[in-house]
Structure 1
Amino acid sequence: GSEFTSSPRGDKAAYDILRRCSQCGILLPLPILNQHQEKCRWLASSKGKQVRNFS
């Protein structure tokens, strides 16, 4: 389980790139955004238009 030590720069560089989620509009690092958008799209499709109601 030493995948992280094999490429110390590669992943960290990706975390420096921030992208906006197309669903909810928050800024996230690319590796996190990929996982986040999957959940965000799933939530959006299950809840319909109520996703933007943060109150």
Structure 2
Amino acid sequence: METTWKKALKSNKAVKVNIQPVYSGTSKRPTSFIVEQNVGGKQLPVLKLKNTATGK
């Protein structure tokens, strides 16, 4: 994901990212993140990443 952003920025493309944490119950630690990405004017698929070392 970050590599895609880096390549786009090096090619002078616009990169817009919105990351929303998702919480479970009263926990202060997010269980996952919803990532919306727009690279070079193209909306990429929305990702849901778990809050783990691998994001899976």
- TM-score, length basis structure 2: 0.22
More helix by share: 1
Which one has the bigger strand percentage?
A: 2
Higher RCO by CA contacts (8 Å cutoff, separation 6 or greater) = 2
